[in-house]
């Protein structure tokens, strides 16, 4: 049946996709406001708000929210990202009205009780501590902080102990009032759902939601790159090497996705084969590309022992420069097949499909048909990937490393190696 999209009089977008083969419904409210939308004195408030959403409304206690959804076998949760916040549930088809009511209650009538707030602040402080104690987690925070220095897009979503402890119930209400408007929200359901019925249910509960968010959009991001190293007495080192990536809307976004798969998207990828299989220099290595609304980051993550760092990094740099010289047709075809399979597999999950539709509506203003995505992938050539690699890996790098990092080559050495011809990288390796 495809995706059906309607808009309420207040500007709220409502979309559904009926999937006849399943008997459940994944639904949620996605807000185009995340950690990036915080002011300087609000670092971590978007994530705290997500936690507090389940701590009671004027009609329901925290226990009521949890028990009512679980009494019918359903699930409810939320998530905060750099640019969005989502509140979602999964229930049987007959229980969709209950899920809509609970999610709407959270968005329109959360109490932000001071006692609950104090307890949840303590929980998040524990979460921050746990992240710091997990090097393969915290290194990504340090990576984005370095890539986008002194910008909200680069800050940790969790906030800091100082900021999290400082927030009051009044600040949470103010943030929600400023950031949450129907013009920045989409409500999506996928699975055993009928569009007209779902539309009526949403309209009855959220048709009166404020039409517009009051705050301005976040400042345009500026990738700067740089170097962060934290020497810890650990058995292994977590290393990230990154470059300026591409935003969702630009021509090279999908090419960047494919390039990351050619380099480090699986066991057959260049980095895995060269670094792990042939040389045994690490136990984990992969490439990734993150797109945002106005920028992106391309990165390589590796985890290795102290004794292999000096040899590992030059080999990675060598493979990056080789990508600008030659990419084989079979490598591109394999990456294209992997990406297409991932898209199709995600279609088999109602929750993944709802999230995908919401993301497309917020970014592009419309759902993107699968055939259109496949055509975009098919149009990418090996020449285009080589050209992209040459340009991408010439940008100022971002290096983030935690662990026994004393043998890691100096930042300027890495930067100069990438700026020069491939043989200079090979000399560094020697």
Could you give the residue numbers annotated as active site? 50
Sign for the CA dihedral angle at 60, 64, 66, 70 comes to negative
Tokens of 319: 């493979």
DSSP 8-state assignment for residue 214: -
First to last CA, the chain: 59
Q: Between 370-378 and 253-264, two packed helices, what is the crossing angle to 10 degrees?
A: 70
CA gap 175, 50 in Å, rounded: 12
Q: Cα(310)–Cα(294) distance, rounded to whole angstroms?
A: 35
From 27, 180, 159, 163, select the one nearest 109 (Cα to Cα). Answer: 180
- Concatenated DSSP letters of 90-120: EEEGGGHHHHHHHHHHHHHHB---HHHHHHH
Q: How far is CA 110 from the centre of its chain?
A: 26
Q: Is 180 exposed, middle or buried (0-12, 13-18, 19+ CB in 10 A)?
A: buried
Q: Which residues contact 357 (CB under 8 A, 6 or more apart)?
A: 3, 15, 17, 188, 190, 367
C-alpha–C-alpha distance, residues 118 and 373, integer Å = 46
Residue environment code for 36-65, b if the CB has 16+ CB neighbours within 10 A, otherwise e: bbbeeebbbbbbbbbbbbbbbbeebebeeb
Helix axes 382-392, 309-323, angle to 10 degrees: 130
Which residue is associated with the tokens 């119930």?
169
Strand pairing report for 13-18 and 185-191: parallel
Distance CA 258, CA 253 (A): 9
Could you tell me if 238 and 139 are in contact, meaning their C-beta atoms sit under 8 angstroms apart? yes
């Amino acid at each position: 049946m495809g995706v059906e999209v309607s808009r309420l009089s207040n500007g709220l977008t409502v979309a559904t996709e009926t999937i006849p083969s399943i008997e459940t419904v994944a639904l949620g409210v996605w807000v185009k406001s995340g950690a990036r939308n915080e002011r300087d004195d609000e670092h971590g408030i978007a994530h705290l708000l997500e936690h507090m959403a389940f701590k009671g409304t004027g009609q329901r206690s925290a226990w009521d929210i949890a028990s009512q959804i679980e009494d019918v076998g359903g699930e409810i949760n939320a998530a905060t990202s750099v640019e969005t916040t989502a509140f979602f549930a999964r229930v049987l088809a007959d229980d969709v009205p209950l899920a809509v009511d609970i999610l709407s209650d959270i968005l329109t009538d959360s109490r932000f009780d001071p006692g609950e707030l104090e307890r949840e602040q303590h929980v998040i402080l524990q979460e921050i501590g746990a992240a710091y104690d997990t090097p393969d987690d915290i290194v990504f925070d340090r990576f984005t902080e370095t890539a986008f220095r002194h910008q909200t897009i680069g800050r940790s979503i969790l906030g800091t102990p100082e900021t999290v402890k400082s927030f009051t119930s009044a600040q949470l209400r103010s943030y929600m009032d400023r950031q949450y408007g129907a013009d920045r929200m989409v409500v999506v359901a996928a699975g055993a759902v009928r569009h007209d019925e779902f539309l009526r249910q949403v309209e009855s509960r959220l048709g009166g939601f404020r039409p517009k968010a009051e705050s301005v959009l976040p400042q345009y991001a500026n990738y700067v790159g740089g170097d962060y190293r934290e020497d810890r007495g650990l058995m292994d080192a977590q290393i990230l090497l990154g470059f300026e990536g591409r935003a969702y809307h630009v021509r090279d976004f999908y090419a960047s996705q494919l390039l990351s798969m050619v380099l480090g998207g699986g066991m057959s990828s260049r980095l895995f084969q060269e670094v792990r299989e042939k040389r045994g220099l690490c136990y984990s290595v992969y490439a990734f590309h993150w797109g945002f609304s106005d920028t992106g980051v391309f990165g390589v993550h590796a985890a290795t022992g102290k004794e292999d760092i000096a040899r590992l990094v030059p080999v990675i740099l060598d493979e990056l420069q080789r990508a600008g010289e030659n990419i084989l047709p079979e490598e591109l075809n394999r990456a294209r097949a992997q990406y297409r399979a991932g898209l199709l597999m995600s279609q088999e999950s109602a929750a993944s499909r709802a999230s995908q539709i919401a993301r497309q509506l917020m970014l592009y203003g419309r759902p993107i048909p699968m055939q259109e995505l496949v055509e975009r992938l098919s149009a990418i050539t090996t020449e285009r990937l080589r050209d992209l690699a040459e340009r991408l890996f010439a940008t100022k790098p971002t290096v983030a490393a935690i662990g026994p990092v004393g043998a890691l080559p100096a930042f300027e050495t890495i930067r100069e190696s990438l700026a020069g011809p491939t043989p200079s990288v090979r000399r560094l390796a020697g």
